[in-house]
Amino acid sequence: MQQQDTTQAGERGILVPLGLAGLRVLSQRVGADGALEVTVIGSQTRATCPRCGRVSAKQHDVRSRRKRDVALGARRVALVLRKRRFRCLRCRRPFTEPDTACGWRRRTTARLREQIGQQALGRPLSHVATEYGVGPRFVQDCWGEAVAGQFAEDGRPLDETAPLPTPRFLGLDEFARRKGQRYDTILCDLGDATDGDQAVGRRVVEIAAGRAQEPVTRLLERLDDPDQVAAVSMDMSGSFRAAVELCLPRALIVADHFHVVQHVGKALAQVFSRCAATAAGRSALKGQRPLFVRASEALSEAAAAERAQLAEQFPELAAAWTAKERLRAWYATASAQDAAAGLDTWVAAVARDGPDELRQALSAFRTWRSAILAFFTFLPLRLSNGFVEGKNNRTKALMRQAYGYRNRHHLRWRILT
C-alpha cells in the first residue's frame, strides 16, 4: 500500500487529510462505539538509537497503541498507532521509535490537547471536560500548556518573580479573593496613546498576592525600567502610595477621580441617613436616596423638581448634594492652569457652608491634594482606574462562574489571559 495522508470519514469512503506528519494510514473503520478508528504507522523505515545515536533499520517488533485524535465533525477519531521497536546493531538492545504525533507516553495527540487548551482559555474547565468526555484534571493540564504558550507569544513571564516590561502609565487596585480575608493587587498598563476618547494598548500586567505595602513593593520592584513610569493611577490607598513612592520615585501619583467623587458621595450618604432618621425625614425621604445619589444630568425633569422640593425642606442635604455636583463640574471643566484655584475654592466653600460629614471628608483632600491635581497633568488621556475597575468586575464574574478559586495561581492565569 502506498504512503497516504488521508482518513475515511465514514462507510462511503469520503477522504479527508489526516494532517499528522510522519504517519501513514494502513486502514480505517468505524468501531462499535461509533468512533472512526484509523490505523497508522510511521512513514520512516529506520530510526535513531537514543543511546548511541546509530541509525537502525532492523525492526524488532510492533505493538499497537490506541490514541485519541481531534474529532471529525461529530464523530470521534481514534488512532491505532502501530508503534515499532527497532534493534540497534551496536548496542544489541531494542528501542522504540519516537511518537511525534502524541509525545512520550501520551494517549492523545498534541493537536487535540492544544484544541482543548484553547477552549479552556475562555470557558470553565468543567464545561470543556464534559464536552470532550475527559476529566477536569486533564483539561487543566491542557489549559496550563495553552497559557504557557500564550504568555511566551506575548512576551510575558509566567513566573511570578521574573522581570516585567514597564509601561508608561500604570493602574493599581485591589480585589477580594475572599471578602474581608484575602485580597490581591492588580497592576495594569493604562496605555500611552489615545484613539478618540479611548486609550489603546491597555492590558493587565501582573497580579500580586496581598494588598499591603510589602507585596505591592515586591510587585513594583519587578519592573525592568522604573524610570520609564510617568504616572500611576490609584484610589486613595496609603499602602499603594507608600509602595509607589519607594519604588517609582519619578512617577506622578494620580488619585482616581471616580474614587475622589465617591469619597464625597459617601459623606453625602451619611448626611442623607442622618436627615432620613429625623421625624420629618422618615416619610419625606423614604425611597428618595436615588434623587441625591444620581448625577444631575441623569435626573428627569420631574425627578429634578422633586429633588429641589426636598432640598428646601432639608438645607444640609441640599448643601451636600450641591458640593458633590460642584466637584463633578470642576473635574469636567477645569484645566491644568486653573485646577488648583478651583479645588481650593471648592474646599473653602465646603469648610464654610458644608455639613459636618463633608467637613470631615476634607482631610483626604488635604492629604491627597497633589495627587488629585495630578489628574489634570494628563488631560488628553484622562488617566483613571476605569480600565482596572473593569478588570476587577471581570475577575468577580470569573470567580462566580467557577464558584471560587482555591488555587490563586489558576485565578492569576485566568485574569492575565
Task: Sort 411 into a burial class: Cβ within 10 Å, 0-12 / 13-18 / 19+.
Answer: buried
Mean pLDDT of 134-148: 94
Rounded CA separation 151/416 (Å): 9
The whole-chain average pLDDT of the chain stands at: 90
The one-character DSSP state at 55 is E
| Residues 6 or more apart in contact with residue 416 via CB below 8 angstroms | 147, 151, 156, 204, 206, 207
Determine the pLDDT at residue 3: 40
H or E, element range at 262: helix 257-276
Q: What is the pLDDT of residues 349-373, one digit of tens each?
A: 999 999 999 999 999 999 999 999 9
Q: What is the CATH number of domain 169-256+384-416?
A: 3.30.420
Band of pLDDT at residue 197, cut at 50, 70 and 90: low
Determine the pLDDT at residue 186: 96
Mean pLDDT of 251-272: 96
CB 202 within 8 A of CB 190: yes
Band of pLDDT at residue 34, cut at 50, 70 and 90: confident
Determine the pLDDT at residue 8: 45
Find the range with the poorest average confidence among 11-20, 84-93, 110-119, 210-219: 11-20
Pairing mode of beta strands 36-42, 75-87: parallel
Determine the pLDDT at residue 4: 46
Determine the pLDDT at residue 2: 37
Find the range with the poorest average confidence among 22-31, 139-148, 152-161, 249-258: 152-161
Determine the pLDDT at residue 32: 83
10 pLDDT more than 50: no
Q: What are phi and psi of 110, to 5 degrees?
A: -60, -35
Mean pLDDT of 120-130: 91
Mean pLDDT of 341-353: 96
DSSP string, 182-234: EEEEEEEE--SEEETTEEES-EEEEEEE-SSHHHHHHHHHTBS-GGG--EEEE
Determine the pLDDT at residue 145: 93
CB 243 within 8 A of CB 215: no
Q: What is the pLDDT of residues 375-392, one digit of tens each?
A: 999 888 889 999 999 999
Taking alpha carbons only, the member of 158, 346, 359 closest to residue 271 is 359
Taking alpha carbons only, the member of 105, 91, 256, 242 closest to residue 170 is 256
Q: What is the pLDDT of residues 224-236, one digit of tens each?
A: 999 999 999 999 9
Could you tell me which residues are beta bridge partners of residue 164? 223
Determine the pLDDT at residue 406: 85
Write the single-letter amino acid at 149.
G
Determine the pLDDT at residue 200: 62
**What are the residue boundaries of the structural domains of the chain, listed by start?**
1-107, 169-256+384-416, 257-378
12 pLDDT more than 60: no
Find the range with the poorest average confidence among 256-265, 295-304, 359-368: 295-304
Band of pLDDT at residue 238, cut at 50, 70 and 90: very high
Band of pLDDT at residue 14, cut at 50, 70 and 90: low
pTM here? 0.80
Mean pLDDT of 314-335: 95
Task: Sort 337 into a burial class: Cβ within 10 Å, 0-12 / 13-18 / 19+.
Answer: exposed
Mean pLDDT of 109-113: 95
Mean pLDDT of 8-23: 68
Burial of 35-49, coded b for 16+ CB within 10 Å and e otherwise, reads bbbbbbbbeeeebbb
7 pLDDT more than 50: no
201 pLDDT more than 90: no
